Structure 1
Amino acid sequence: MTDFNEVHGWASLSGYKTFKFHLSGENRKVEEKILKFSALEIIDQQVPANTYVKGLRFNAFAVAHIRVSPMTVVWNRKRLSSQRRHMFVLVNKGTVQLRGDATTAIAPEGGVGVVFSGSSSAVIEITSDTEMAFFSFDQNEIRPLAFSSAEVGNIRTDSPIFRAAYAYICGVVDSPDDQDVGSSQVLRELTREVARALALEASSVAPVMDTVAHARQVIERRYRAIAFTPGDVADEIGLSRRSLERACADQDISLADELRARRTSHARHLLPERPHLPLSEIASLSGFSSVEVMRRAFWRFYGESPSTIRKNPVATAESDALHSAD
């Protein structure tokens, strides 16, 4: 298990780190480590306190399984990295309320809440003995999926996606620390897919969804199938391809470009994470019909070849982040 003094070195680590702590009584030393680690400020807590946390973190993801007595904390989000993050709060048992402009409330006695990316503070008020899971991730990890409070309705607490995500979090936090590049890359990709699944499930329950948003969700679910085409997007939505492309054109969007961009983004993540895979397999895993089709897409969206990006992934990631902020 990692020491809390190491937490600011996550970005330089090739693998992931697990952590755990038990806060009981009035142990201020442990409390100070919690605050340094999480950027959360405890503003009120039951005495004696009783909190048990097990978690795992990459630089872009953090998951934790928590059992906690009544406590109120605030996430000030002064760091830019915090402002880019979404957080899901999955409550299995207990009562939690989320307050602040960037939050949705959790139903009493269990449920799901979301803290969206942004600079406003979020208050997490735990009003009874509670068991829950946190999942925080950088918004860039689920691109091009758009995810905001305007697109999320009343989240169903009986959703199999949320139940599966909760089970995944509880299981993965028991993983041993691992700096094996292959193992950490696979786990990181799996964690990213869980983040996307949560965002998709939360977005899909919005009461009203425009046609383009619906098309993007279909693309997000199906883009890795090589035979999947813009025509298939239209079929799944229940529109003619002409009608769907007209709706996209009204928002200056090309349906084919949306599908191509999603595949290219996925391939861009795979290149540095799986350095031993041949380009043909990267193309196949990302939904491209050939290496040449993938290469043309990379030149269009990134201005570089896949081989160049694989050799210099940091510069490309920075460029990707800049584009996402435009």
Structure 2
Amino acid sequence: MADARYDPVHGWRGLTAHRHFRFAGSGGRGGDAVTDFLRGAGMTVLDGDPSRLNLRGIRFDTFLVANLAMSGLTVRWERDRPAAQRRFMFLMVSRGVVEIVGHGPQHCAPEGGILIVFPGDQPVELIARRPADLLVFTFDVGEVSPLTLSPENIRTLSPGSSVFRSSYAYLHALAHTADELDHALSPVAKTLTREVARVLIASASTPELPDIYDRAQAMITSEHRDPELVPDSIAAALGTSRSSLGRAFARRGSSVARDLRRHRAVTARQLLRSEPDIAAQALAHRSGFGSSTALHRALLGEFGLALAALRVADLPAPHPLRAVGATTSGEPG
């Protein structure tokens, strides 16, 4: 086992190779060893018997991978060290339910099974009220730079995706075979672990918000006449989530639906000027609205005038009338 070089402030930055951990969860005095391990990870046991925790894991200086089987246990990740505040935590739950409680930024995949705690200084509690198996993967933000992941740019994660399943398989195997890993191979294992972290961050993050906004605007401008163009289809075409797309527009003080309606309303008014007698349903269809009712609402909202009023307002101005046979001399003919 390599020299730990644990520092109360900077954590395990001085670890030169790796350390492996294995606790059988047999109860009794083993609880002290588990408590020491958790303390080294910046965690405090709040409730339950740590001696019954079954754990296998490996630690590098900026990575921690641990497979835990736990029940009736609550621990708090204190995040009171600068090093801890720079770390992501991915929790991959294969059995049971694990809760995250805290005020810091976090994310849970809609399908369950994947929990993410973002870097920050707010304490986070992990609670397993019933038997649960989980894989814990924490790493420093510097290991994945310049890639970024935040609540603002995260996309939907799926435990069934090939990226997640491959990452889980590697990390699980690493945690369970860490005691067989020769220290001469530590740099290789650390490099592989770094690549897994980068793949997880890259697959979980959407493109930068300004890029999403600009690309969405280009789609709206060129395709808004298609009634099938809706926020969900735009998000899917851009490879992002509906919520991330919405946040990109909200930062500009708008929304996807509002910009779609505005473009369609402007197109409808342009058509109305060139074809004053066009039927409402045809006007709605050709400008991208799903119905004439939606057309009426949009015109009223954008221009403050109903369709009938716009027909009159947008008629060409009549030419001045001239009396036939009139003279300009002012004298009778």
Same fold (TM over 0.5): yes
Separation of aligned partners in 1, 2:153 and 2:68: 28
Equivalent position of 2:14 in the other structure: 12
Query: Are residues 57 and 124 of structure 1, via their aligned partners in 2, closer, same or farther at CA, if it must alter by over 3 Å?
Result: same
Kindly state the Cα deviation for residue 148 of structure 1 after the two structures are TM-superposed. Answer: 1.4
TM-score by length of 1: 0.57
For the residue of structure 1 that corresponds to 2:152, the secondary structure is helix
**Could you tell me the percent identity over the aligned residues?**
32
In the TM superposition, what are the counterparts of 1:178-189 in structure 2 within 5 Å? Answer: 178-180=182-184, 183-189=185-191
Separation of aligned partners in 2, 1:213 and 1:70: 46
Separation of aligned partners in 1, 2:155 and 2:101: 17
- Where structure 1 has 5 or more consecutive residues not aligned to the other structure, the ranges are 216-235, 239-326
**1:41 matched to 2:75:** no
Query: Are residues 212 and 141 of structure 1, via their aligned partners in 2, closer, same or farther at CA, if it must alter by over 3 Å?
Result: farther
Which has the larger displacement, 160-169 or 133-142? 160-169
Give 1 or 2 for the bigger CA radius of gyration: 2
- Which amino acid is the alignment partner of residue 164 of structure 1? S
Q: Deviations over 1:243-275 (max 9, x none)?
A: xxxxxxxxxxxxxxxxxxxxxxxxxxxxxxxxx
CA contact (8 A) 1:89 1:113 kept: yes
CA contact (8 A) 2:44 2:76 kept: yes
- Which amino acid is the alignment partner of residue 169 of structure 1? L
**1:146 matched to 2:148:** yes
Separation of aligned partners in 2, 1:21 and 1:184: 21
CA contact (8 A) 1:68 1:130 kept: yes
Q: Deviations over 1:109-148 (max 9, x none)?
A: 9500001111111111112211110110000111111211
Equivalent position of 1:190 in the other structure: 192
In the TM superposition, what are the counterparts of 1:1-326 in structure 2 within 5 Å? Answer: 7-8=6-7, 10-25=12-27, 27=29, 28-45=31-48, 50-104=52-106, 106=108, 111-173=113-175, 174-175=177-178, 176-180=180-184, 183-204=185-206, 209-211=209-211
Kindly state the Cα deviation for residue 59 of structure 1 after the two structures are TM-superposed. Answer: 0.5
For the residue of structure 2 that corresponds to 1:15, the secondary structure is coil
Separation of aligned partners in 2, 1:88 and 1:213: 28
CA contact (8 A) 2:97 2:130 kept: yes
Query: Are residues 212 and 93 of structure 1, via their aligned partners in 2, closer, same or farther at CA, if it must alter by over 3 Å?
Result: same
Separation of aligned partners in 1, 2:139 and 2:45: 22
Kindly state the Cα deviation for residue 30 of structure 1 after the two structures are TM-superposed. Answer: 2.7
- Which amino acid is the alignment partner of residue 182 of structure 2? D
Q: Deviations over 1:155-184 (max 9, x none)?
A: 22212211111111111121324331xx22
For the residue of structure 1 that corresponds to 2:24, the secondary structure is strand
CA contact (8 A) 2:91 2:114 kept: yes
Separation of aligned partners in 2, 1:103 and 1:49: 30
- Which amino acid is the alignment partner of residue 211 of structure 1? D
Kindly state the Cα deviation for residue 25 of structure 1 after the two structures are TM-superposed. Answer: 3.3
Query: Are residues 194 and 107 of structure 1, via their aligned partners in 2, closer, same or farther at CA, if it must alter by over 3 Å?
Result: closer
Q: Which has the higher helix share?
A: 1
- Where structure 2 has 5 or more consecutive residues not aligned to the other structure, the ranges are 216-236, 240-333
Kindly state the Cα deviation for residue 200 of structure 1 after the two structures are TM-superposed. Answer: 1.4
